[in-house]
Structure 1
Amino acid sequence: MTPIHYKRATTLDELEQIRTLQIQNTSQYTSSEEQLQEGFVTVQHTVALLEQMNSACAHIIAKDNDSVVGFALVMLSLFRNEIKVLIPMFERIDKLVADHKTYVVMGQICVAKNYRRQGLFRGLYHFYKTELQHQFDYLITEVAAINPRSMQAHEAAGFKIIATYEEDGIVWNIIAWDWT
C-alpha cells in the first residue's frame, strides 16, 4: 500500500474528485445507520464554487497515488453568502470571534469509505493546521448535533463547542480549534 500524501489542491481533476467524494457521502446517498456510525456531509458544492474557493485559499486533500481519498475544504469568510445554509453560521461566528482575531472556516471534511479509521481525518487536520496556522488564529466549523460520529472526531482533533443554535429544525454546534 502506498503512503497517503497530504497536499493543497492544485488541479481541476482534484476538485472534481472532491465533488465526487462529497456526493457519495451526502445524507441522501447514505443509510441512517451508516450516517450514525460513519457521519455524513450536508452541503454540496459545485465544481465552479470549489474552484473559486480553492483560488482564494487552496483546499487540503489526501491522495493515494492519483486518487483524492479525503478532503478538508478551506472557506474564507468572503464566500459567506455563496451557500445559503452557511450564512447563519458565519453571522454567529462574527459575533463570537474577537475583532482582533482571524479565522478560517473548515468548509467540510470527508474521508472515502475504504480509507476510514486509518488516521486520515487527523492527518487532514494536522496538515491544515501546519499550512494555515500562521495566517489564522482559529479554525472554525459547525457540525449537526445529529452527527455524533463527526462531533466525536472533531473533539478528538482539538475542537471545542463555542456555540449551539437551531436553524430549520436542525441543531448545529459551532466548534473552534484555537491555534494561538
Structure 2
Amino acid sequence: MIIYTQATSDWELEQILSLQQENLPKNMSPQECEREGFLTVEHSMDILKAMNDECGHIIAVEDGKVIGYALCMHPKFAKEIEVLKPMFQQINTLLDTPNSSMAMGQICVAKSHRGQGVFRNLYLTMRNRLPEGFDTIITEVDGKNKKSLAAHAAIGFVTLKVYESDNREWHLVALK
C-alpha cells in the first residue's frame, strides 16, 4: 500500500536524492530520457532540507521506501537555484499575487511505479497540504520532456507561458 505524506526525516530526504540521481540525464541514456522523462535540477541535501523545513515535501512511500516525491518550493527560495530563477521572474510578471503560488520544485516517480496514479496522487496530496494563503501550484517543464508535459496536462495543469531561458524552451504550468 502506498502512503502519501510529507517528508519528516533526513532518511526520507536521502531517499529523494537517491531517486533523483536515477532520473538525471547524466545517469540515463538519451533514449531513456525521451521514453521515461528526466529531471533537470540536482539538489544538495542542504537546500532540500531547507525547503522541507519551510514546507514539507510530498512523498509516496511503499514498504518504508520513498517511491515518488513532489518538492515544495516556497517563494522565499526563488533565488536559491540558478536554473529556476527565470521561472520565478516569469511568475512575478504573470501573476497578480505571485506569493500565493507554491512552486513544485520537482516531481519524480520510481520507474517501477509509473502508470499507477502516483504522479496524480502526489499532486493531490500537495494541493491538500498547501499552507494557508496558497491556492495554486506552479511549475515549469523542459519542452523536450514530452512525457512530463503530457502527464501535467493529463491532471489539469494549464500552460501560462512558454518561454526560452538558458537555451531551453520552458513551459510554465499551473494547477488551481
TM-score, reference length from structure 2: 0.96
Q: Counterpart in 2 of 1:73?
A: 71
Identical aligned residues as a percent: 44
Q: 1:55 aligns with which of 45, 53, 56?
A: 53
1:44 shift after superposition: 0.6
Q: Counterpart in 2 of 1:104?
A: 102
Structure 1: distance between partners of 2:38 and 2:22: 9
Aligned residues of 1:104 and 1:140 also touching (Cα < 8 A): yes
Structure 1: distance between partners of 2:99 and 2:75: 13
Structure 2: distance between partners of 1:63 and 1:56: 21
Q: Deviations over 1:146-172 (max 9, x none)?
A: 000000000111101101111121100
2:83 maps to amino acid: V
1:109 maps to amino acid: I
Relative to structure 1, the CA distance from residue 21 to residue 100 in structure 2 (aligned partners, 3 Å threshold; closer, same or farther) is: closer
Q: Counterpart in 2 of 1:114?
A: 112
1:65 maps to amino acid: D
1:134 shift after superposition: 4.8
Structure 2: distance between partners of 1:138 and 1:10: 23
Aligned residues of 1:8 and 1:59 also touching (Cα < 8 A): yes
Relative to structure 1, the CA distance from residue 64 to residue 54 in structure 2 (aligned partners, 3 Å threshold; closer, same or farther) is: same
Q: Counterpart in 2 of 1:144?
A: 142
Question: Which structure 1 residue ranges, 5 or more long, are not aligned?
Answer: none
Q: Counterpart in 2 of 1:5?
A: 3
Query: Which moved further from structure 2: 70-79 or 122-131?
Result: 122-131
Structure 2: distance between partners of 1:22 and 1:58: 17
Question: Which structure 2 residue ranges, 5 or more long, are not aligned?
Answer: none
Aligned residues of 1:101 and 1:137 also touching (Cα < 8 A): no
Aligned residues of 2:91 and 2:98 also touching (Cα < 8 A): no
Structure 2: distance between partners of 1:133 and 1:139: 11
Structure 2: distance between partners of 1:142 and 1:100: 15
Q: Deviations over 1:5-26 (max 9, x none)?
A: 0000000000010011001101
1:94 maps to amino acid: N
Q: Counterpart in 2 of 1:84?
A: 82
Q: Which runs of 4+ in 1 moved over 6 A?
A: none
Q: Counterpart in 2 of 1:173?
A: 171
Q: Deviations over 1:98-145 (max 9, x none)?
A: 138710000000001111111110111111111117531210000001
Structure 1: distance between partners of 2:103 and 2:148: 16
Q: Counterpart in 1 of 2:62?
A: 64
